[in-house]
Structure 1
Amino acid sequence: MTAPEYWVDLHRAGQRLGGGFLLNRTFVLTALHCLRGLALEDQVDIDLSGGGRVEGRVCRQDTKADLALVEISADQQVNLPMPAADHARDGGRWRGPYRPTATDVHLSGLVSGTAHHLCVGGATIEALQLTADQHLGDYSGYSGGPVEGVPDDTAGKPTMLGILIEQTPDRADPSRAANVLIAATIGEAISRFDQFDVGHLIDVVRPPRSEQRREQAPARFADAEELLLKFDDWVERGLIDPACAAEMKAEAVRRLIAREMGGADA
């Protein structure tokens, strides 16, 4: 287990809600049902695995896919190492670095496959089917935690594969959960939120001051948009992982805006 980890615990008014993990320095990804009915803009306390607490707010919810984003307050810094994202390999080993309490076991097992999965909320998503080594009966406390790929050699580093969202019922007893879990892939989760879209990044970092400025923006930011689109191309070609690309996009746009704000228009 890396130290410190990138997973977090979410709390509200002293009550533990569930797990989640850092996609980058700004956003925490979690399963929506872990938020227990919180609405958009509701405040959430984020306990970091290495110690310390930062504040955040619920900024996006995908009810159909059971996913949510929590945005860390802009005045608070989080500097934790995060593994690269990757695609799961059928038959490969996986592990869950997050556990509800210090006395709970870490989950591990085999990746049974990747397929389209119909969520309880109605969305069809790209998901991992995971067989767990541990027969717990109830895995609900692990929802929202990350799924890591286990490297084949001891020198390899773990990679982030997905987020736990559901467990399947036991065929012999539907009231019990089988040791088969469902995780949305990282690529699927990121694609669900416009925070990781090129156009949205530009609008968030520097909102247009007027309709006239909005019309001029495409030409003004043409070079920057070309660079940001390259990041998407690199992800598709497997040169960088989606989470890393999202962070690089945000940093590139922030630098552009800092330069612009220091120019004649400032």
Structure 2
Amino acid sequence: MTATDYWVDLHRAGQRLGGGFLLTRRFVLTALHCLRDLALEEQVDIELADGERVDGRFCRQDKEADMALIEIAAGHRVSLPIPAADRARDGDRWRGPYRPAVADIHLSGLVSGTARHHCVGGATIEALQLTTDQHLGDYSGYSGGPVEGVPEGTERQPAVLGILIEQTPDRADASRAANVLIAATIGEAMRRFDHLDVAHLIDVLRPPRSGHRQQAATRERFDDAEELLRQLDDWAERELIDPAQVAELKVLTVKRLIEREMGGGGA
């Protein structure tokens, strides 16, 4: 197993729909247009990176932002790694660990900017503009796949930055796509779907950090909330609380934390 084994392939009735990735051990995030004409609550087959297939359910969608969640069947416990998340920085290298088929290449390139983007569906979202090293003319098969940052000169594992949702048309030839792709940030996905178990992704909601002293102070401010999130997991494992309520309680904790950081009060 590697740090990139969190991506999945989605299928329905033997037909491949597109890519996605494990945002938590319970939910797969994908681009809504990958699910084509599926209705909410329909079943989706999830093929994990290690080849195992598990049942899933199309449970949430955001039509305007072109994102969807697939819930993994309750009887399956995912053992594959769940990615850390981070914020993208202009000029950073990125790569796509997911590819539509074994014969296809992995995408890579530069983060050329983070800005508000107006989606085809009508939403204005926080998005990454990505240039690709590969000039394919058609990147549609990569939709729903994760965008990873590539840490240079460090031993840090890659972190997921966003989800690929759109390709930019070539202005000289509208039948082809330019080597510029659009990805929704992980922070945007978290805001769109309010019941995600997001304890491991909380950093993407914090403002960018600079300096060791500021980092230490930031960690101290969040210690109490992170301890509560860990305690909720412990109570669920000991059957002192209904596991079905844990995700809801964690989201409430993170929301209160966000409100406090933004000056909205609360504990």
Q: What TM-score do you get using the length of structure 1 for normalisation?
A: 0.77
Aligned: 1:259 with 2:240: yes
Q: Which runs of 5+ in 1 are unaligned?
A: 199-227, 262-266
Task: Give percent identity, aligned residues only.
Answer: 70
Alpha-carbon contact 2:131-2:180 (below 8 Å) kept: yes
Tell me whether 1:119 sits opposite 2:102 in the alignment.
Answer: no
Which residue of structure 2 lines up, in the alignment, with residue 143 of structure 1?
Answer: 143
The total of aligned residue pairs comes to 225
The CA RMSD measured in Å over matched residues stands at 2.7
Corresponding residue for 1:133?
A: 133
- What's the secondary structure of 1:130's corresponding residue? strand
Aligned partner letter, 1:138 = D
Give the TM-score, by structure 2 length.
0.77
- For 1:195, the equivalent position in structure 2 comes to 195
Do the aligned residues in 1 keep the contact of 2:32 with 2:67 (CA within 8 Å)? yes
Distance 1:10 1:127, change over 3 A: same
**Distance between the aligned counterparts of 2:7 and 2:197, measured in 1?**
23
Q: Secondary structure at the match of 1:16?
A: strand
What code does the residue aligned with 2:148 have?
E
Max radius of gyration: which structure?
Answer: 1
1:5-50, Cα deviation, whole Å (9 max, x unpaired):
1000000010000000000110000000000111110000000001
Do structure 1's residue 81 and structure 2's residue 81 form an aligned pair? yes
Amino acid at match of 2:117: H
| Separation of aligned partners in 1, 2:146 and 2:192 | 17
1:260–1:162 Cα change, 3 Å? closer
Alignment of 1:15-54 (within 5 A): 15-54=15-54
- Compared with structure 1, are the counterparts of its residues 24 and 260 closer, same or farther at alpha carbon in structure 2 (3 Å cutoff)? closer
- Structure 2, unmatched stretches of 5+, are 210-217, 220-224, 243-267
Q: Per the alignment, do residues 25 and 251 of structure 1 end up closer, same or farther by CA in structure 2, a change over 3 Å counting? A: farther
Q: In 2, distance between residues paired with 1:105 and 1:234?
A: 28
Once residues 196 and 96 of structure 1 are traced to their aligned partners in structure 2, the CA distance between those partners, rounded to angstroms, is 23
Q: 1:96 Cα shift?
A: 0.1
Measured against aligned partners, the alpha-carbon deviations of 1:102-149 in whole angstroms (never above 9, x if no partner) come to 000000000000000000000000000000000000000000000000
Mapped to 2, the partners of 1:233 and 1:158 lie a distance apart of 15
C-alpha distance in 2 between matches for 1:251 and 1:67? 31
